[in-house]
Amino acid sequence: MKIENDIKLDFSDVLIRPKRTVLSSRSQVSVEREFKFPHSTSKWTGVPVMAANMDTTGTFDVMNVLSKHNMLTCLTKFYTRENYDDNLPKCPLQNYNGIVSTGINDADFDKLCDIIDWKKTLLAYEDKPVLNWVCVDVANGYMQKVVEFCQKVRKKYPDVILIAGNVATREMTEELIINGKVDIVKVGIGPGSACLTRLKTGVGMPQLSCIVECADAAHGAGGLIIADGGITCPGDMAKAFGGGADFVMVGGQFAGHDENPGEMVEENGETFKLFYGMSSEHAMNKHYGKMEKYRSSEGRVIKIKYRGALENTVLDYLGGIRSTCTYINATCIKHIPKCTTFVRVNNQLNLIYAK
């Protein structure tokens, strides 16, 4: 048994210290970045924010909204080749389309290959740019089988931009990049609003410290990270970038809109939409017909107050990031980490009139 005594921090534990700035308008800030990758020879330029690959956010309708802002969508791994066949030809801006998600068993690999090969043929036929992203998505990225699966994908598709996770510590971040041949590691265990992993297992890491540690490890190994989970407001996204995240993944804050699937639920004169964790009993029953007795439900079902058009939320978040940059003299999103100084706090907001 070992205890680490240094303090680990979450987004709510810090604020970003303002600094003298030469920027006079949010319009002077660029929220796009160009990325090169350690293993893929592809390059990508866009806004490094993506929707989570959950049933209610990782959809083609969400992708079509985010694509207009050069943002990414990590599509649910439960989409079939037929789902891509029906939707992908209608999607704009193929360079910014969805990331194909996969599990790690043999059937998942066969389905992934089928989707990638079909997609290459379709886009080449339509003379559209081919840029293949793959996300190897499991709750526990510490399994050796994840590394082996990533090696298998890299061997078959050398140019794919390969994401894998989730992990929350230095050593596995390095392992995935160096030995798994992964370009981007998805980091965060338990911070999501629909996640119960910390409650059911006692396992996790406060998300800001997770980002700082994993970003340092990834960048030292030539790779990148996605901060996945824990975003409650645009300020949290700014703190994630400030901590060194290259990309930020958003679930709950991109749910509850017109473009999210699911029926409206009315209660006491208010309208809601359902949002649920992918390790929840609800998700297990939906996709596998039951939840196995050896499992515990590690996700919850949440009723999110209806938010209208997703476009409004996207603009609010991008506006918040631009405003952060003007407070710390960062001319672009890439410069946020080197311009960020965190201040530890006991309280962030005056909430006396919040309700």
Angstrom distance (rounded) from CA 118 to CA 18: 49
Find where tokens 């930020």 sit: 248
Angstrom distance (rounded) from CA 237 to CA 340: 13
Q: Sheet containing 301-305: which strands, arranged edge to edge?
A: 265-267, 270-276, 301-305
Angstrom distance (rounded) from CA 302 to CA 300: 6
Contact 285, 87 (CB under 8 A): no
Beta strands in the chain (DSSP E): 14-16, 33-36, 43-46, 49-51, 72-74, 98-102, 133-137, 161-167, 184-187, 224-228, 247-250, 265-267, 270-276, 301-305, 342-344
Which of 39, 17, 2, 57 has the alpha carbon at shortest distance from 310?
57
Instruction: Identify whether 135 is a catalytic site residue.
Output: no
Contact 167, 189 (CB under 8 A): yes
Angstrom distance (rounded) from CA 119 to CA 117: 5
Which of 111, 152, 151, 118 has the alpha carbon at shortest distance from 132?
118
Q: Which of 195, 210, 214, 339 is catalytic?
A: 195
- Residues marked as catalytic: 195
